[in-house]
Structure 1
């Protein structure tokens, strides 16, 4: 499963992201999207909608997430005022995770 962040630019008036945006995106999903979960982080300056997809590669996950966004815009045209900044899998820098994440205790040490 891959997490794709849909990072959004709010409209000029600062209108908040609709509170049901997660439900709307779930309603727009088809079986082919392989959507598992949606998480919304509506805080400014750039709201993020996290889309969890059962995909094997980054490119297909990012493309599927972007399609979900545009389907949501088609269903609710007011969302067109929001600019999709990017649809991408957030990549982590392993050196920032810490040793307990890089080498979990598996009971064999």
Structure 2
């Protein structure tokens, strides 16, 4: 299972629907195996939709997430005008680097 972040840009002067996660997941097909979504509407500079996708590889998960998001944007009137800026796994390197960093000396 992979967490894929879809970075969304709402139309100028508009927000993103609070139920975008539900709307997008509802348009996933069973074979695409989108398991869950979580919207971070207040993320900056643009809202981020986290999608959990069961896929055989990261590339496949990113592709599925992109396809499902594009489908939702094109079919759901509430998402009209929303732009998908990018769809990728989030970078977690800083978190893990913090785990292996030597303890601070006082």
* CA–CA separation in structure 2 for the residues paired with 1:11 and 1:50: 20
RMSD: 1.7
Gaps of 5+ in 1: 100-109
* CA–CA separation in structure 2 for the residues paired with 1:21 and 1:9: 12
Secondary structure of the corresponding residue to residue 46 of structure 2: coil
Residues 14-46 of structure 1: CA distance to partner in whole angstroms, max 9, x if unpaired? x11112211111210111111111011001431
Runs of at least 4 residues of structure 1 off by over 3 A?
A: none
Would you say the 8 A contact 2:70–2:84 is kept in 1? no
Would you say the 8 A contact 2:34–2:51 is kept in 1? yes
Gaps of 5+ in 2: 101-106
* CA–CA separation in structure 2 for the residues paired with 1:82 and 1:75: 12
Quote how far apart the aligned CAs of 1:85 are.
1.1
Q: What residue in structure 1 maps to residue 63 of structure 2? A: 63
* CA–CA separation in structure 2 for the residues paired with 1:26 and 1:39: 10
